[in-house]
Structure 1
Amino acid sequence: MSEMRLHDPAGNRLYLNAEERAAFLTAARRQPARDRTLCEMLHWTGCRPSELLEITPARIDLSGGSITLRSLKKRKDASGRQKVIFRSVPVPAEFLDTLNTAHGIREAQRSRKKAAQPIWNLGRVRVWQIVKGVMIEAGVPDAPHRSPKGLRHGFGVHATVQGVPLHMLQRWLGHAQLSTTAIYADAVGKEEKDIAARMWR
């Protein structure tokens, strides 16, 4: 059984809902280029901050419309050796244009050295501070979901509401088990109403 939850023991929501995700994106687009693209990357890919910090220009497919992420959760193969797992997540072309303009992705890809350097030269604490600041500006309430993890869970709930198959969402989020991804099928509130409404269409 998965340990991951969409609510804490007190019943507080641990994910950003659709309205909060939209407000976060709007607030992110008012930030300086580095912070804007960082926040948009988390919003559009559902990646973990530690995964974001490893993204290099070489992992941006501008023409293919995707970002390649390295899953950082430790996994072993049948022989007990550590497995390195990469996954590609599709993102909007508009975001890739913003990313390219802000960080010179296409230009950096022409140099092996520059293509291998992380796009955001920051620590995880700084990422957390940036995201929290943008969430405060966006009016996200001071609650357990006001965090990068809340943004990741919000991505999962949003994908489920939009009808993304769980096996595809599993791949995008880098979950080892489908049972972990299945928690997003337990979305509640407006998200659950949106899913349920499809029954009467």
Structure 2
Amino acid sequence: MQSSGNDAFNASDRAIIRLLYFAGLRVSELCGLKWRDLKSRGDGGQITVFGKGDKTRTVLVDAGIWREISGLKGNAKHDDPVFVSGKGGHLCRSMVFHIVKNAAKRALIEGNVSPHWLRHSHASHSLDRGAPIHLLQKTLGHSSVAITEMYLHARPTDSSGLYLPDDDDE
């Protein structure tokens, strides 16, 4: 189930895009995944991620993504890579960049779209929807909240002043 390298969009490519976004993974973390790192948990699943600085964390994924990823397994063994290259080993970073760029092109998304762009989108969208910053820190594998805070952006339609009482409220 590897990418053919052309503009075809297969189940593996779709799972790569969705997992980068919904799990907030770094491209190296995605490329290093083995089937032994994935465990069923209720309707969804749990992924053990081996990140920067030899830090390990777990990330939960919902039922839809879990089914999608599980559907890729076929006859793969416990120690086989989840995302396979044309030669049968782990998918390389450059191929993941290629898959993401092609998906962005098909979706008519302009700009510098990359696997990290999906990770950044995960963080920004999670915070926008009320995720606690300490949970996002844990999910992304950041060593401190200060690193995670870079995803806090001022929104043109929002201002801290809007949260203060106005003269009529006093």
Q: Does the pair score TM above 0.5?
A: yes
- The one of the two structures with greater contact order (alpha-carbon pairs below 8 A, sep at least 6) is 1
Match of 2:102 in 1: 133
The answer to whether the 8 A contact 1:43-1:155 is kept is yes
TM-score by structure 1 length?
A: 0.67
TM-score by structure 2 length?
A: 0.78
How far the C-alpha of 1:187 sits from its partner, in A, is 4.8
Whether 1:120 and 2:83 are equivalent positions in the alignment is yes
Match of 1:156 in 2: 123
Q: Which residue identity does 1:160 align to in structure 2?
A: L
Match of 1:177 in 2: 144
How far the C-alpha of 1:60 sits from its partner, in A, is 1.2
Match of 1:21 in 2: none
After TM superposition, list the pairs within 5 Å mapping 1:37-56 onto structure 2.
37-56=15-34
Query: What is the DSSP-based 3-state SS (H/G/I as helix, E as strand, rest coil) of the residue aligned with 2:71?
Result: helix
Distance 1:125 1:187 in 2: 33
How far the C-alpha of 1:124 sits from its partner, in A, is 0.6
**Structure 2 spans left out of the alignment, 5+ residues:** 1-7, 85-90, 165-170
Match of 1:186 in 2: 153
How far the C-alpha of 1:59 sits from its partner, in A, is 1.3
Distance 1:120 1:102 in 2: 8
The count of residues paired between Structure 1 and Structure 2 equals 148
Whether 1:61 and 2:24 are equivalent positions in the alignment is no
How far the C-alpha of 1:63 sits from its partner, in A, is 2.2
Residue 199 to residue 102, structure 1, CA distance change in 2 (3 Å):
farther
For residues 88-127 of structure 1, the C-alpha deviation after alignment (integer angstroms, 9 at most, x for no partner) is 11211111011112224xx75xxxxx21221112111011
The answer to whether the 8 A contact 1:157-1:185 is kept is yes
Distance 1:199 1:138 in 2: 36
For residues 40-61 of structure 1, the C-alpha deviation after alignment (integer angstroms, 9 at most, x for no partner) is 1101111111110111111112
Q: 2:70 aligns with which of 100, 103, 108?
A: 100
Distance 1:128 1:89 in 2: 22
List, as ranges, runs of 4+ consecutive aligned residues in structure 1 with deviation greater than 6 Å.
none
Q: Which residue identity does 2:58 align to in structure 1?
A: S
Distance 1:94 1:85 in 2: 27
Query: What is the DSSP-based 3-state SS (H/G/I as helix, E as strand, rest coil) of the residue aligned with 1:102?
Result: coil
Q: 1:147 aligns with which of 114, 118, 130?
A: 114
Match of 1:88 in 2: 58
Residue 148 to residue 187, structure 1, CA distance change in 2 (3 Å):
farther
Structure with the largest fraction of helix: 1
